[in-house]
Copies of this chain bind each other. A is one copy, B any other.
Amino acid sequence: MSARAERIYTAAVVIIGNEVLSGRVRDANLPFLARELKALGIRLREARVIADRREAIVEALRALCPRHDYVFTTGGIGPTHDDVTAEAVAAAFGVELVRNPEAVAILERHYGDEINPARLRMANTPAGAELLDNPVSRAPGFRVENCYVLPGVPRILQAIFDGFKHRLAGGAVLASRTVTAELAESLVAEGLAAVQERHPEAEIGSYPHLRRGRFATAVVVRAADPGLLEAASAEVVELLRGLGAEPEVSEGEERTPEGGGES
């Protein structure tokens, strides 16, 4: 199977945000990045939510950057005292934090006479950083080696990401198919394990939920190889039919409402 030999690209996301850890804000950036990376053929392997503290950021980047093709950070690059991401990224990569002349020019052009020391603070980047264009509010994101440093406000993060995503190298897009049936997960489990064993290269996930007040299970099959996706999902359909259900099949990962299942 040719798909096996292909290079797999992986990524991690670091969400820098006391406001997420305190429950004040429900993060919206991880769902966005997860979907975008999937479409680019990049596997998101891990995400961390950490505090706005320099040591916490340094530790996360030192753990994740050597391990993945790409690391994306969100948050902490604004003008206030609690924005410590730029200096932490510099520390993690062992370079100086410098005032980036290109960023200064962008901010001066944008703010004109209203430029001030706090706004200029957003021009501080690790030495050698490449700026990432911010078409919304101008203060740029930046990249150091494989680490992409993005703001926390979703609308701005998305605009910046859209501007550079075509430059990210990815592998085969993991295709997926969802097979849903009104059956309790525990009735499907044994047969599903057998399908997974026959197709170790496919990733078969089982997601219980409630549907029209009844137990239902969504089985998501993910595979880089189209033939494998076809074979494994056909076996799942057969399995569910054999258990008396009328499974529904849809392309991609169908979202199910949050609801109570067996676990």
Which residues of A are in contact with B by a Cβ distance under 8 Å?
A: 18-28, 30-32, 34-35, 38, 44-52, 56, 77-83, 116-119, 121-122, 136-137, 139, 151-156, 174, 176, 185-190, 192-193, 196, 203-209, 220, 222, 253, 255-256, 258-263
List B contacts of A48 (CB < 8 A): 46-49
Q: A22-B44, A205-B18, A208-B153 are in contact. Are A262 and B139 (CB under 8 A)?
A: yes
Supposing A119-B186, A156-B260, A186-B79 touch, asked if A205 and B20 sit within 8 A by C-beta, the answer is: no
- State whether A78 touches B46 (Cβ < 8 A): no
Query: Closest Cβ of chain B: how far from A40's Cβ, in Å?
Result: 12
Tell me whether B253 and A80 are in contact (CB under 8 A).
Answer: no
Cross-chain contact of A31 among B26, B34, B81 (Cβ < 8 A): B26
Stoichiometry, copies per complex: 2
Question: Provided the pairs A78-B208, A81-B193, A192-B80 are in contact, do residues A260 and B22 lie with their beta carbons within 8 angstroms?
Answer: no
Interface of A is mostly: mixed
Query: Are B190's CB and A118's CB within 8 A?
Result: yes
Contacts A50-B46, A220-B24; A262 near B204 (Cβ below 8 A): no
Cross-chain contact of A46 among B51, B139, B193 (Cβ < 8 A): B51
Q: Are B22 and A222 in contact, with the CB atoms below 8 A?
A: yes
Q: Is the CB of B155 within 8 A of A260?
A: yes
| Docked complex Cα distance between A188 and B147 (Å) | 29
A119 / chain B contacts, CB cutoff of 8 Å: 186
Is the CB–CB distance between A205 and B263 below 8 Å?
A: no
With a cutoff of 8 Å between Cβ atoms, the chain B residues found around residue A56 in the complex are 45-46
CB < 8 Å: which of B18, B31, B153 contacts A23? B31
Complex alpha-carbon distance, A50 and B119, angstroms: 36
Q: With A22-B253, A186-B118 in contact, do A46 and B44 touch (Cβ < 8 Å)?
A: no
Q: How far is the CB of A70 from chain B (nearest CB, A)?
A: 14
Cβ–Cβ < 8 Å partners of A47 in chain B: 20-21, 48-49
Q: What are the residues of chain B within 8 A of A25 when measuring CB–CB?
A: 207, 255-256, 258
List of B residues within 8 angstroms of A196 by Cβ: 81-82
